[in-house]
Amino acid sequence: MKTVNHWIGGKPVEGVSGNYGPVYNPATGAQGTQVALASVEEVDAAVAAAKDAYRTWGTSSLATRTAILFKFRELVAAHRDEIAELITAEHGKVHADALGEVARGLEVIELACALPLQLKGELSTQVSTRVDVAAIRQSLGVVAGITPFNFPSMVPMWMFPIAIACGNTFVLKPSEKVPSAAYKLGALAAEAGLPDGVLNIVNGDKVAVDRLLEHPDIAAVSFVGSTPIARHIHTTATANGKRVQALGGAKNHMLVLPDADLELAADAAINAAYGSAGERCMAVSVVVAVGETGDPLIEKITARAAGLTIGPGDDPASEMGPLITKAHRDKVASYVTGAAAQGAEVVLDGTGFTVEGYEDGHWIGISLLDKVTADMDAYRDEIFGPVLCVVRAETYEEAIELINSSRWGNGTAIFTRDGGAARRFQLEVEAGMVGVNVPIPVPVGYHSFGGWKESLFGDHHIYGNDGVHFYTRGKVVTTRWPDPSDGGINLGFPSNH
């Protein structure tokens, strides 16, 4: 059986804890890989390697860093199909979706290549007689990232390229469910010339996570995952004096006004709700249909859903793959049956779906729930599966109140032809990312990603300008070089003349 080990100090390191976790192929349900789970001592070894590497990497030139990152970008692009295959084998998403994930990660590597522009300081000359003031940004030291199962390559690439471009060294703890893609990125970074210890990868479970959160040599922690874990990460790491950005869960609404192009809206709802089997923190899980839009919109969504092909991710004909684990599949199914019991209308029920020849896979079909209300579990909880809820609203005002009452504020979208309504929505809605006729408004690499309310714990969003600020700290230097003609003693209080 294949074993995924750690990457520490620029080389593969076998696990010595004796603990291993199973890695399944979600399409077959079979375990083909095991992953070494790090002990406290193994995490400490990764942090020690990063701390040792920081002594030279932290003072390296921007030219040196960017040259390596340019080479890393070339290698990731050249190996994108291989990375996508690893993602499909362990996550289950279809190959085209996995390729898209790699492409969005490449955007952030490209931003990191241009980071010298972002790290330029500010200078004010002659603020007082022969006194200049400069503001500069410097790296933090050793930083850590803890990443989720749903984007095994993209989310790590949202973190470590910017961190190391800023002069930090990095310890990555990927999801133990999908370890191979991150390990491949570590090997490609070494091939690109990244010095030993600048990027380290430790696989593990809660033991590894808790050690990273409390380790005295780690200055900052980045996290993407569920809201309960994000809250724990933030609370624990900040209590240990660390800077934290912890991105949590979501319940993303798509508001459809009566004047919207319903063909476009139906396509968007299908793509955003069921792409990657709904295992996206930016998936649309609620459509808020205003006025008389509900019935025709549901009719169009239902017609489109009938034509979707669900199957193994490595089959080019498949448009949606399985869920990550059987336990998660059962949990998602429980929301569909629970919604029916609570009074929702089940328009499409995917709970009994399976794929011939792959009966042991973690399959679930597409579910569409109508007449969902805000007190139902399917509305209140993050389902993280291919389940779309439709809520009816009489007016825009009722719809915006519903959306803003959510405890999450990650992403949202409005579909309308009315520019005034769209402008009003983008100003009034309480969410960190807003789409206008765009269902999944994930920002490009040079803008930052992050939500509001219980979708974010900490003050900084991820990548973009916020990412640069998170992985650096400001310093102000005031300088006076006296003119040779100056001299003498003056005991008076200094003044700005």
Q: What is the 3-state secondary structure (H, E, C) of the chain?
A: CEEECEEECCEEECCCCCCEEEEEECCCCEEEEEEECCCHHHHHHHHHHHHHHHHHHCCCCHHHHHHHHHHHHHHHHHCHHHHHHHHHHHHCCCHHHHHHHHHHHHHHHHHHHCHHHHCCCEEEEEEECCEEEEEEEEECCEEEEECCCCCCCHHHHHHHHHHHHCCCEEEEECCCCCCHHHHHHHHHHHHCCCCCCCEEECCCCHHHHHHHHHCCCEEEEEEECCHHHHHHHHHHHHHCCCEEEEECCCCEEEEECCCCCHHHHHHHHHHHHHHHHHCCCCCEEEEEEEHHHHHHHHHHHHHHHCCCCECCCCCCCCCECCCCCHHHHHHHHHHHHHHHHCCCEEEECCCCCCCCCCCCCCCCCCEEEECCCCCCHHHHCCCCCCEEEEEEECCHHHHHHHHHCCCEECEEEEECCCHHHHHHHHHHCCCCEEEECCCCCCCCCCCCECCEECCEECCCCECHHHHHHHCEEEEEEEEECCCCCCCCCCCCCCCCC
pLDDT of residue 265: 98
- Please state the rounded mean pLDDT for residues 182-191: 98
- Please state the rounded mean pLDDT for residues 484-495: 68
pLDDT at 29 over 70: yes
Q: Which has the minimum average pLDDT: 117-126, 261-270, 389-398? A: 117-126
pLDDT at 25 over 70: yes
pLDDT at 484 over 80: no
- Return the HEC string of 2-16: EEECEEECCEEECCC
Residues 325-374 pLDDT 10s: 999 999 999 999 999 999 999 999 999 999 999 999 999 999 999 999 99
pLDDT at 497 over 60: no
Instruction: Please give the mean pLDDT across all residues of the chain.
Output: 96
pLDDT at 486 over 70: no
**Annotated catalytic residue 389:** no
Query: What is the C-alpha to C-alpha distance for residues 408 and 249, in angstroms, rounded to an integer?
Result: 7
Residues 283-297 pLDDT 10s: 999 999 999 999 999
Query: What is the C-alpha to C-alpha distance for residues 490 and 473, in angstroms, rounded to an integer?
Result: 36
Q: Which of 113, 166, 281, 389 is catalytic?
A: 281
In this structure, are residues 202 and 5 in contact, taking their beta carbons and an 8 Å threshold?
A: no
Q: Which of 243, 214, 240, 244 shows the shortest CA–CA distance to 230?
A: 244
pLDDT at 429 over 90: yes
- Please state the rounded mean pLDDT for residues 44-68: 97
Q: How far is CA 306 from CA 21, 216, 349, 384, in A?
A: 37, 54, 12, 21
pLDDT of residue 379: 98
pLDDT of residue 30: 97
pLDDT of residue 297: 98
pLDDT at 322 over 80: yes
pLDDT of residue 124: 97
In this structure, are residues 156 and 145 in contact, taking their beta carbons and an 8 Å threshold?
A: yes
149 pLDDT tier (thresholds 50, 70, 90): very high
pLDDT of residue 492: 72
pLDDT of residue 483: 78
Residues 264-278 pLDDT 10s: 999 999 999 999 999
Report how far apart the first and last C-alpha atoms of the chain are (Å, whole number): 75
Query: What is the C-alpha to C-alpha distance for residues 59 and 167, in angstroms, rounded to an integer?
Result: 7
pLDDT of residue 491: 74
Query: What is the C-alpha to C-alpha distance for residues 445 and 429, in angstroms, rounded to an integer?
Result: 23
In this structure, are residues 195 and 53 in contact, taking their beta carbons and an 8 Å threshold?
A: yes
For residue 86, which amino acid is it? L
Percent of the chain with pLDDT over 70: 98
482 pLDDT tier (thresholds 50, 70, 90): confident
pLDDT at 254 over 70: yes
